[in-house]
Amino acid sequence: MVAVVSQRGPRWSTWRLPGWVAGLAGIGTVPSDSEELRVRKAVLTLSSTLMASLASVWVLTYAVLGLWLSAVIPLAYQLASAASILTFARTRRYLLFRRSQLWMSLLLPFVLQWSLGGFKNSSAVCLWAVTSPLGALLFVGARQAWPWFGAFVGLVAVSGALDPVLAGGAPHIPSGVVVSFFVLTIVGVAATAYTLLQYFVRAREAEQARSERLLLNVLPEPVAARLKNEDGIIADTYDDVTVLFADIVGFTPLAERLPAREVVAVLDLVFGRWDELAARCGVEKIKTIGDAYMVASGIPLPRDDHAEAIAEMALAMRPELDSLAAETRLKLEVRIGIDTGPVVAGVIGRAKFIYDLWGDTVNTASRMEAHAPSGTIQVTERAFERLRQRYEFRHRGTVDVKGKGPMTTYLLVGRRDAQDTRSKMRSHHVDQR
């Protein structure tokens, strides 16, 4: 059995919480949660903890003033909220946790305000209840948040109707405490809302950026930008493109001998290294089919040196595979086919997008690969004409290509050195004279 290790980079994120906060935020998550659900659970847990902590100010102040009923209400909220968080951590029942937190944050501020004698004497503590519809908007959704907001407005209206009656029996609270609590309520509600939205927005931005990276792994960047901004079919014609097909020789019998996990790991390592080559050469990876690998140059952005870029890619692919073969002690060889010419490129699919190429150039490059001897790079005559000044070739002769008939082909050997190139150019100049 061959030991193969596939290495992948760490999951990317634009924003990370301190360790203990991240641990608290994740107490109710399970591995099967989507990223969006993880964000919602984390925001609800952190907001519930923050609001329960701030309630200590009301508990202590009203206890010192001897307003025991008004002190017990925020204390009861703290205890109930703590119990709710602990139950959530133990059972992972998110719907129960969400519902209990929304109801407590909606009702208890109004009950506290009524116990203190109305809006003025309580410093409008009912403003804390706005966190309930705000939380419903974040945790439940825009449509389901309307009833919570309606309940908040209704309770405000009831409080307004009851205020003259409540004010008549209001307990005495020093004016300094009333003013201080007005400030604390305004700042506290604003800070809580801002903190929640800050966390939610940053988490969503991180996830959006991650999704953007995943999209760019499927589509070229200019095509992805068009797909997001345009409706309809994305299709373009390119007059001058170079296409490369590569295939791992004998991989099917090799796959039959290896466990499935190692087969996938080997392909992941091979294609991972070729992906890095494609990025360095500035060519566009189109797709993989089994153990076949396809790249192109000159799309989606045209470039004059598209043939040279593919040649550099092809010459570097075999050494990378040889290095990997030595590391894994597997016999790995590649054959490559190249052609240059016009193609049609576009995006197909609805549920899963793919950027693909069509045309004779694509089919011919595929045939060049299929008829290439093992370990070689076979090119068409038109690709040879584009590359002959800078690269060494061996004339293979006429090959009967399936679906194409007899074709003159060449095997790409390597890059010409600068001295040899200058010598041939001088000789060509003398001949012209």
**Overall residue count recorded for the chain in this entry:** 433
Using CA atoms, how far apart are residues 282 and 208, in angstroms rounded to an integer?
25
Using CA atoms, how far apart are residues 260 and 207, in angstroms rounded to an integer?
31
H helices of 219-230, where?
A: 221-229
Look up tokens 């290790």; give the residue: 5
Which one, of 369, 363, 374, 373, lies nearest residue 404 by Cα? 363
Select which of 173, 247, 286, 310 is catalytic: 247
Is 420 among the residues known to form the active site?
A: no
Using CA atoms, how far apart are residues 360 and 77, in angstroms rounded to an integer?
72
**DSSP-derived secondary structure for 85-149:** HHHHHHH--HHHHHHHHHHHHHHHHHHHHHHHTSTTTTTSGGGGGGHHHHHHHHHT-HHHHHHHH
Is 239 among the residues known to form the active site?
A: no
In sequence order, the 6+-apart residues with CB closer than 8 A to the CB of 398 are: 406, 407, 408, 409
Is 248 among the residues known to form the active site?
A: yes
The two tokens of residue 53 are 């902590």
Using CA atoms, how far apart are residues 53 and 412, in angstroms rounded to an integer?
71
Structure letter (DSSP) for residue 359: S
Which one, of 77, 65, 58, 76, lies nearest residue 125 by Cα? 58
Say if CB 318 and CB 273 are below 8 A apart.
Answer: no
Using CA atoms, how far apart are residues 325 and 2, in angstroms rounded to an integer?
11
Say if CB 248 and CB 333 are below 8 A apart.
Answer: yes
Select which of 85, 173, 248, 338 is catalytic: 248
Three-class SS state of 260: helix
Three-class SS state of 241: strand
Select which of 163, 240, 291, 339 is catalytic: 291
Q: Catalytic site residues?
A: 247-248, 291
